[in-house]
Amino acid sequence: MTLVLLLTLAVSFGIQAWIEGGIFGGITIFNIFLGFFQTLKAEKTIESLKPLGSPNASFSTGDSVPADIRLLTSINLKADETMLTGESLPALKNGNTTLKA
């Protein structure tokens, strides 16, 4: 979009249409500033979402854990898997279980 506006600006000044060239210049500058501030806002939003992407597990009540966690030991650990399996009760997890592929 900016390149098209710059091209029309150049053509307007090339044919000595000063008023139209000024209007296209103003629109181009407005478009550049608008794009800059939208990109800045999007980058801030992405930065604020980064901590949500990789949860740390400390196994306190109510903590979320990564889905690919390998459990080595556990004592009375129950996981609420309602969103995954639809089970209404938390599932008991055991660190001694070994799954073979």
What is the domain partition of the chain in residue ranges? 2-53, 64-96
**Beta carbons within 8 Å of 20's beta carbon, 6+ residues apart:** 12
Q: State the pLDDT confidence band at 37, using cuts at 50, 70 and 90.
A: very high
Backbone angles phi, psi at 59, to 5 degrees: 55, 40
The Cα–Cα gap between 92 and 64 comes to 16
What confidence tens digit (pLDDT) does each residue in 45-61 have?
A: 999 888 777 655 566 77
pLDDT at 21 over 70: yes
pLDDT at 98 over 70: no
**Beta carbons within 8 Å of 74's beta carbon, 6+ residues apart:** 93, 94, 95
What confidence tens digit (pLDDT) does each residue in 54-86 have?
A: 655 566 777 777 667 777 777 888 888 888 888
Please report where in the chains the tokens 């990109």 appear, as a residue. Answer: 39
Query: Considering the chain, what percentage of its residues have pLDDT values greater than 90?
Result: 15
- H-run or E-run covering 24: helix 18-53
